[in-house]
Structure 1
C-alpha cells in the first residue's frame, strides 16, 4: 500500500468545481497582464500555466483540454503572440502533467514543486519552439528562469487554492 507524504492525497480525492478552476485561470490571466518592472520581467512566471499545472496535477480526472486551449488562445490575443503559441504550450504542459500525476500524488511538497517545474519547463519549451519557428529567436537556459520561480510559488498554491473541509466535518 502506498503512503502519501502530503495532505494532497485528501484533496485529490474530489475534483474542484469548474467555477473555481475558471476563476483561478481568469485571475492568472490578470496577473500575467499586470505591468511588472523590467528587472522582474525575466523571472515572471506564466501564472495561467502555473495554475493549469496545479489543477492538472491535483485532479483525479484529466484536465479539460478545451479549457486549457481557450486559456491559451486568450493569452495569445492578450500578448499578440502567434495564434496557437500558448495553446500549444498549455497542451504540452497538460501532457507532462498527466505523465507526472502518478508520482506527484505520493511525493512530498518539495518533490511536487519539482514536478510542477518540469511541467512549466515543458510549456516554456513549447512556447519557445513556436517563437523560434516564427521569429528565429535565440533560446537559452535563462528562458527557463520563470519555471524556477514557478516552483517556488508552487509551495504557496495549496494554501490559496486547496479545497478545505468545513469546520467540524
Structure 2
C-alpha cells in the first residue's frame, strides 16, 4: 500500500494486543455504572478501530460474537447488539482503505455516521420489541464516540509505532 507523505511506518499489530483491547473494551461496557443512553459504546469504538486497521484479524464474525456476549451480559433482547456490531464492522471494513488516507480528525467525522447507524439499529430493535424510547440523549452517544476516535487511535497505535532510530543500513 502506498503511504501518505510523512506517515510513520508502523510495526505489525500483535494479535494478543488486539484481543486484549477488545476484551478490555467489553469489560468497559460491562462496568456496573448503569446504562445511560448517552454513554459511548467502547466495544463498538474498538471494533471499528480494529476493523479499519486490521480487517483480516477482526471482522464481521468477531463483531457478531462480541455482540452476542454484550446481549447476554445486559440481559437485553438477544440479537440487539449483534446485528448492530456486525453492520458496524462490515461498513468499517468497506471504507477502511479510503479512511486511512485521511487525518485522524477527518476520520472521526467519517466514522460518525457508522456509530449513528449502529445506535439506530440497536434503538430500532429495542423499539420493535416493545421497549421504551430512551430520550433524545441517545443522540449524544455517536457524537461522543466520534470525539473519542482520535484518543483511541493514538492509544491503540502506540505499540506499533516504530522508534525513530534510522541508521545507514535502515533508512526508514
Q: TM-score range by the shorter chain?
A: 0.7 to 0.9
Secondary structure of 2:66 counterpart: helix
Aligned to 1:27: 24
Does the aligned pair in 2 maintain the 1:96–1:122 contact within 8 Å? no
Q: CA deviation at 1:141?
A: 5.1
Q: Which has the larger radius of gyration?
A: 2
Are residues 31 and 6 of structure 1, via their aligned partners in 2, closer, same or farther at CA, if it must alter by over 3 Å?
Answer: farther
- Residue segments in structure 2 that go unaligned for 5+ positions in a row: 167-172
Give me the TM-score of the superposition, normalised by structure 2: 0.80
In 2, Cα distance between the equivalents of 1:131 and 1:156?
A: 30
How many residues are aligned here?
164
Residue in 2 aligned with 1:80? Answer: 75
Indicate the structure with greater helix content: 1
Secondary structure of 1:74 counterpart: helix
Structure 2 CA distance, aligned partners of 1:165 and 1:102? 21
Does residue 17 (structure 1) correspond to residue 14 (structure 2)? The answer is yes
In the TM superposition, what whole-angstrom CA distance separates every residue of 1:24-70 from its partner, at most 9, and x where no partner exists?
111111111223378xx332111100100111111253732221111
Q: CA offset at residue 158 of structure 1?
A: 2.1
- Residues 80, 103 of structure 1: alpha-carbon distance in 2 compared, 3 angstrom cutoff: same
